[in-house]
Amino acid sequence: MVQIPTTRSEWVYERLKEAILSGKIAPEERIVVDQIAREFGTSAIPVREAIRRLEAEGWVENKPFVGARVAPVRIEELEELLSIRLALEPILARTAVLGATNETIDRLEQLVEEMDKCIDHNDTVQYSRLNYEFHRLLYELSPWKELFRIVISVWERSARSRWIFVQTPDSMLASQQEHRAMMEAFRNRDAKELERQMRLQKERSFDLYMSYIKNKMNECASEDS
């Protein structure tokens, strides 16, 4: 489950990180402390704390005479991270079948139903959150805990890709079809089919995300020229 922030600083951090990863605050865009504080209805202190934390995680850069700005997208690094995920996540899905219970099946089904409602309301942000929860819950069922740790680490470093539904809302429909195919394999304890379906989804979604990012970068380059 998604953790609820316990402090004002944590709350600001979560909101600011979401704004960065979803593209609401674009790569290389300046982060003005007073402006963010006014938008979030808070003082400057928790905003500065959140920026320092995001800088330590690599999502924000501090430049002399410029200040804080969103870290740029580095295509080569992103391609490497997504390639690692494509290799490992289907394996994690396959082994997740070993931890399947009626209770976890019901919870995953509930998440799919909630994502259906997001599509009905074109709520791409909530869909992105629920999609993240669906995959994390599925992967947590695997007894291969070291593999889970590795995947989550790489997952967090490529977290911008999690928000592809915000940039391409129509992709939610394809994603839901894939979730239903996964759930059918999961209910049947068909590990190989679940692995295959996960690989298909990752191939499609990663190709879509990389195309989106490269197109945006080309647009920015054209505007600057």
186: left (phi over 0), alpha (psi -120 to 50) or beta: alpha
Burial 168-182 (b: 16+ CB within 10 A, else e): beebbeebbebbebb
Q: What global pTM score does this model have? A: 0.86
Amino acid residing at 223? E
Residue 5: predicted pLDDT: 55
Q: Bridge partners of 69?
A: 30, 61
The Cα–Cα gap between 117 and 173 comes to: 12
Residue 225: predicted pLDDT: 56
Tell me the three state secondary structure of residue 42: coil
For the chain, which domains are there? 8-70 (1.10.10.10), 75-224 (1.20.120.530)
Residue 1: predicted pLDDT: 45
Q: Output the CA torsion sign for 149, 154, 160, 162.
A: negative
Q: Nearest-5° angle of CA 128, CA 133, CA 136? A: 125
Residue 59: predicted pLDDT: 92
- 10 Å Cβ neighbour count for 85? 20
Task: Please report, to the nearest 10 degrees, the dihedral formed by the alpha carbons of residues 182, 183, 188, 193 taken in order.
Answer: 0
Residue with tokens 């995920």: 85
Residue numbers in the chain where pLDDT is lower than 50: 1-2
Residue 138: predicted pLDDT: 98
Bridging pattern class, strands 67-70 and 60-63: antiparallel
Instruction: Supply 133's token pair.
Output: 């929860």
